């Protein structure tokens, strides 16, 4: 055999490839035809079945309310009706070019464009369509914000869209979802109800409404809402899961209410066991020991050990406090008249019970003095408080002394005014200690308003030093509007006097929480 040339070999290879390609194409076409026949058979089977007609399926969403927009049919020009289309003018036909009316052709083109662009009959319909397009853009923007977790901006976008297209049920439903994320369940419930008024078959709105009602503990309503979802979509898995969750919560609530309503809660009832089920082990006698008899002795011993371990300075401080307490709580503070001296309690002498005797003698002396100075046999507590003179109180040296004096003088504004004049403002941080009582502060401000202000006395140093007490700002923060009116009056008076610089007044007003 003669050898084939390279060109002949290539030709044979190409022919072989073409045959293979044709065979593959034929196989593919056969498969497509077979698939088409199978699909047609399935379609015929589906059409022949009448089981679908037995179910009352809901209509497509919004299909009941959508109205088709009327399009205006473009009016044909009189010249164009019945006339043949214009022939194309040759580039060398100069006479035809001279006769051609360019302006008229431009007008015809403009009229045609206007007629094609005006799809709606009136400008109102065009404006409505424009607003709907803008609302769709706002909805897309809200969806983007929601995906990024920016729920506040998503709510704003949905709100703008609702203003542009109020009848769109998707916008309030989407806003309800964002409100659920922000835990504003009542607002979400309202938005879902709004969406359902526009589209009663909107399943997502029902799902979000049920979630809002569940979080608001309206379990029965939430269950009914999810049941409506199952009526519309029987295979909805989310609704089924939510109903199961609601039923569990309802059972828990029923158990809690049943337990709380049980009359024998906390009562231990006797256990009766039949003889055949009782233990066979022999009984044992248990010895009962009394506990707690020696606790008082142990506590006293421990207390004495602790007292012995105290330093001398602490013992001196405790003794001074005890003496001050007996001084201010003793009946020797009572005065029978303006010229009556205070009866001091004698110091007891600790010798074989003589201390008890001195105390009884002192009480007898006080009663005799009181009976001699007053014609009445008994004196009421009010008369005792009125008989107290502010000049009998010295300048307090501690917070305890000031508290004791305040309890006696708080009902007498004039006496408390004289008492405050004795105290230097620099002592306030020491007297009030760690915290200033709101009642005392308000009483002092009332004295400034009713006594210092009419007398023309300067109360600015007192108010400034009060701000140096610890936790002063916390006390002023809870003042009511009526109490802040007292502060406003005091600062107005200081401003009118002009004795205090403006900068100092502003700084002090800021500390008192007053807009100066």
Highest mean pLDDT among 12-16, 120-124, 267-271, 394-398: 12-16
Report the alpha-carbon distance of residue 469 to residue 430 in Å, rounded.
8
Q: Which letter does DSSP use for residue 425 in this model?
A: G
pTM of the prediction? 0.33
Using one digit for the tens of pLDDT, what is the confidence trace for 156-171? 999 999 988 888 999 9
pLDDT at 36: 92
Q: Look at residue 375 and tell me whether its pLDDT is greater than 50.
A: no
**Would you report the helix, strand and coil content of the chain in percent, each value rounded to 5?**
65, 0, 35
**472: pLDDT confidence band, cut at 50, 70 and 90?**
confident
pLDDT at 115: 64
What average pLDDT does range 447-464 have in this prediction? Answer: 87
3-state secondary structure of 149: coil
The H-assigned helical ranges of 49-119 are: 51-54, 94-99, 102-117
User: What are 424's two structure tokens?
Assistant: 């230097």
**343: pLDDT confidence band, cut at 50, 70 and 90?**
very low
Report the alpha-carbon distance of residue 192 to residue 212 in Å, rounded.
9
Q: Which residues of 242-254 are buried (b: 16+ CB within 10 A; e: fewer)?
A: bbeebeeeeeeee
- The answer to whether 419 and 411 have CB atoms below 8 angstroms apart is no
Rounded to the nearest integer, the mean pLDDT of the chain is 75
- The answer to whether 116 and 110 have CB atoms below 8 angstroms apart is no
Secondary structure (H, E, C), 169-210: CHHHHHHHHHHHHCCCHHHHHHHHHHHHHHCCCCHHHHHHHH
Using one digit for the tens of pLDDT, what is the confidence trace for 205-252? 999 999 999 999 899 999 999 999 999 888 888 889 999 999 998 888
Q: Look at residue 376 and tell me whether its pLDDT is greater than 60.
A: no
**340: pLDDT confidence band, cut at 50, 70 and 90?**
very low
Q: Look at residue 103 and tell me whether its pLDDT is greater than 90.
A: no
Least confident range of 149-153, 167-171, 311-315, 400-404: 311-315
Report the alpha-carbon distance of residue 219 to residue 249 in Å, rounded.
8
Q: Taking the CA atoms of the chain, what radius of gyration do you get in angstroms?
A: 50
Q: Look at residue 497 and tell me whether its pLDDT is greater than 80.
A: yes
pLDDT at 52: 52
- The answer to whether 209 and 192 have CB atoms below 8 angstroms apart is yes
Which has the closest alpha carbon to 154: 184, 193, 198?
184
3-state secondary structure of 119: coil
Report the alpha-carbon distance of residue 495 to residue 501 in Å, rounded.
9
**51: pLDDT confidence band, cut at 50, 70 and 90?**
low
pLDDT at 177: 93
Q: How far is CA 238 from the centre of its chain?
A: 29
pLDDT at 2: 58
Give CA separation, 210 vs 76, 154, 205, in Å.
56, 21, 9
3-state secondary structure of 481: helix
Q: Look at residue 371 and tell me whether its pLDDT is greater than 70.
A: no
Least confident range of 75-89, 121-135, 190-204, 307-321: 75-89
Report the alpha-carbon distance of residue 347 to residue 358 in Å, rounded.
8
pLDDT at 54: 52
Residue corresponding to tokens 């330093």: 311
pLDDT at 190: 93
Least confident range of 63-72, 317-326, 499-508: 63-72
Can you spell out the DSSP letters for 255-284? Answer: HHHHHHT-TTTTPPPPP---GGGS--SPP-
């Amino acid at each position: 055999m003669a050898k084939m040339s390279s060109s002949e070999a290539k030709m044979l290879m190409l022919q072989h490839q073409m045959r293979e390609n044709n065979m593959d194409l034929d196989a593919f076409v056969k498969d497509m035809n077979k698939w088409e026949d199978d699909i047609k058979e399935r379609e015929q089977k589906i059409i022949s079945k009448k089981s679908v007609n037995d179910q009352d399926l809901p209509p497509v969403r919004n299909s009941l309310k959508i109205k088709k927009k009327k399009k205006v049919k473009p009016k044909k020009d009189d010249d164009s009706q019945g006339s043949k289309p214009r022939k194309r003018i040759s580039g060398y036909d100069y006479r035809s070019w001279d006769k051609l009316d360019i302006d008229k052709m431009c007008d015809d083109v403009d009229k045609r464009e206007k007629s094609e662009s005006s799809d709606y009959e009136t400008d109102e319909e065009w404006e409505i369509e424009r607003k709907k397009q803008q609302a769709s853009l706002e909805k897309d923007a809200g969806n983007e914000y929601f995906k990024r977790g920016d729920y506040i901006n998503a709510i704003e976008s949905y709100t703008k869209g609702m203003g542009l297209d109020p009848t769109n049920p998707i916008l309030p439903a989407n806003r309800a979802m964002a409100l659920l994320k922000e835990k504003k369940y009542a607002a979400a419930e309202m938005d879902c109800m709004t969406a359902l008024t526009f589209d009663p078959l909107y399943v997502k709105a029902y799902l979000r409404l049920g979630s809002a009602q569940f979080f608001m503990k309206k379990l029965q309503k939430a269950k009914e809402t999810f049941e409506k979802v199952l009526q519309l979509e029987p295979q909805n898995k989310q609704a089924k899961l939510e109903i199961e969750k609601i039923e569990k919560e309802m059972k828990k609530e029923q158990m809690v209410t049943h337990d709380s309503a049980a009359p024998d809660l906390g009562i231990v009832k006797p256990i009766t066991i039949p003889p055949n089920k009782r233990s066979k082990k022999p009984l044992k006698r248990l010895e009962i020991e009394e506990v707690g008899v020696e606790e008082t002795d142990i506590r006293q011993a421990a207390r004495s050990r602790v007292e012995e371990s105290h330093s001398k300075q602490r013992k001196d401080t405790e003794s001074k406090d005890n003496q001050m307490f007996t001084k201010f709580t003793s009946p020797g503070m009572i005065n029978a008249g303006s010229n009556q001296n205070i009866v001091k309690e004698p110091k007891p002498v600790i010798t074989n019970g003589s201390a008890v005797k001195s105390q009884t003698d002192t009480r007898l002396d006080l009663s005799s003095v009181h009976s001699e100075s007053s014609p009445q046999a008994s004196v009421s507590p009010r008369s005792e408080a009125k008989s107290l003179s502010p000049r009998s109180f010295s300048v307090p040296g501690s917070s305890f002394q000031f508290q004791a004096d305040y309890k006696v003088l708080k009902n007498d504004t004039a006496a408390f005014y004289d008492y405050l004049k004795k105290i230097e403002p620099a002592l306030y941080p020491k007297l009030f200690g760690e915290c200033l009582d709101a009642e005392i502060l308000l009483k002092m401000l009332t004295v400034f308003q009713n006594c210092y202000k009419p007398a023309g006395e300067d109360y600015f140093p007192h108010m400034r030093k009060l701000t140096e007490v610890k936790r002063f700002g916390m006390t002023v923060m809870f003042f009511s509007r009526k109490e802040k009116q007292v502060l406003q009056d005091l600062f107005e008076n200081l401003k009118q006097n002009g004795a205090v610089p403006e900068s100092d007044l502003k700084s002090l007003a800021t500390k008192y929480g007053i807009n100066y």
